[in-house]
């Protein structure tokens, strides 16, 4: 059975998509989508030998070799220009996901939708999308096995549209998640805030250098910003 996390990602893959799942590991996501007849074609990309072999084995065992090709390579280099209209990248840090998209920018011409699931640092992805003409169109935040995950969906459009109000908060917390402010969101940012406060206090004991002063100011800003969002009742 597919995890709740990957099921949420799967829900955002359009019907009939030709997709690439980058960093596919066991290829669970494309296999699930192909079995449910939701996609017409998938590339499962992997940069590491073990996960690549596990993907190949699963695709074969599920009898899905006519729909899913498993390719070894770094990021979007497994895609030929024009081959796919949707890309999923899940289960990595936001900085890595952004750098994969950035290095493969020439492969994005035919792509209509990105479905991205960072484990940390969703802000890196939002910042990259904003700078590269991808409009964030939906977000989700979920908890599974005591871990909190965010899912970001983007299409080509007006990248600034989601950030008309509260840009800084939007980039950090997610413009859609910020509006919705559900219990999982509150839990995540309450924990983050506690963590920043802990680091801030530890830095109070450290010697004052330009660096620690800057770091403390940064932390204080974030603590204040997130505190305001968590405390406001709208």
Position among 7, 38, 40, 47 found at the interface with ligand SAM (CB under 6 A): 47
Instruction: Quickly tell me which residue has 């549209």 as its tokens.
Output: 161
Q: Judged by CB, which is closer to ligand SAM: 84, or 223?
A: 84
Asked if 91 interacts with ligand SAM (CB under 6 A), we say yes
Sole window of 88-96, 108-116, 146-154, 168-176 interacting with ligand SAM (rule: CB under 6 A): 88-96
Joined together, the tokens standing for residue 16 give 């009939």
Asked if 104 interacts with ligand SAM (CB under 6 A), we say no
Position among 17, 33, 34, 90 found at the interface with ligand SAM (CB under 6 A): 90
Sole window of 90-98, 132-140, 194-202, 219-227 interacting with ligand SAM (rule: CB under 6 A): 90-98
Instruction: Quickly tell me which residue has 């030709």 as its tokens.
Output: 18
Q: Judged by CB, which is closer to ligand SAM: 30, or 175?
A: 30
Q: Judged by CB, which is closer to ligand SAM: 98, or 170?
A: 98
Q: Judged by CB, which is closer to ligand SAM: 111, or 178?
A: 111
Asked if 92 interacts with ligand SAM (CB under 6 A), we say yes
CA 108/CA 73 separation, integer angstroms:
17
Sole window of 40-48, 124-132, 165-173, 204-212 interacting with ligand SAM (rule: CB under 6 A): 40-48
Burial class (CB within 10 angstroms; exposed 0-12, middle 13-18, buried 19+) of 32? buried
Total number of residues that touch ligand SAM (CB under 6 A): 16
């Amino acid at each position: 059975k597919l995890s709740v996390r990957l099921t949420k990602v799967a829900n955002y893959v359009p019907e009939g998509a030709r997709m690439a799942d980058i960093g596919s590991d066991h290829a669970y996501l494309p296999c699930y989508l192909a079995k449910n007849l939701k996609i017409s074609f998938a590339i499962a990309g992997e940069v590491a030998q073990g996960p690549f072999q596990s993907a190949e084995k699963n695709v074969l065992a599920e009898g899905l070799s006519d729909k899913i090709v498993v390719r070894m390579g770094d990021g979007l280099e497994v895609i030929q220009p024009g081959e796919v209209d949707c890309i999923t990248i899940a289960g990595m840090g936001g900085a890595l996901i952004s750098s994969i998209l950035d290095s493969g920018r020439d492969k994005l011409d035919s792509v209509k939708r990105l479905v991205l699931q960072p484990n940390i640092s969703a802000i890196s992805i939002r910042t990259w999308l904003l700078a590269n003409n991808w409009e964030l169109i939906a977000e989700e935040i979920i908890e599974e096995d005591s871990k909190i995950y965010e899912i970001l969906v983007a299409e080509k459009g007006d990248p600034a549209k989601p950030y008309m109000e509260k840009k800084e908060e939007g980039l950090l917390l997610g413009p859609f998640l910020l509006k919705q402010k559900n219990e999982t969101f509150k839990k995540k940012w309450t924990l983050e805030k506690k963590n920043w406060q802990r680091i801030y206090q530890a830095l109070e004991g450290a010697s004052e250098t330009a660096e620690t002063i800057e770091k403390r100011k940064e932390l204080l800003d974030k603590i204040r910003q997130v505190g305001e969002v968590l405390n406001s009742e709208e």
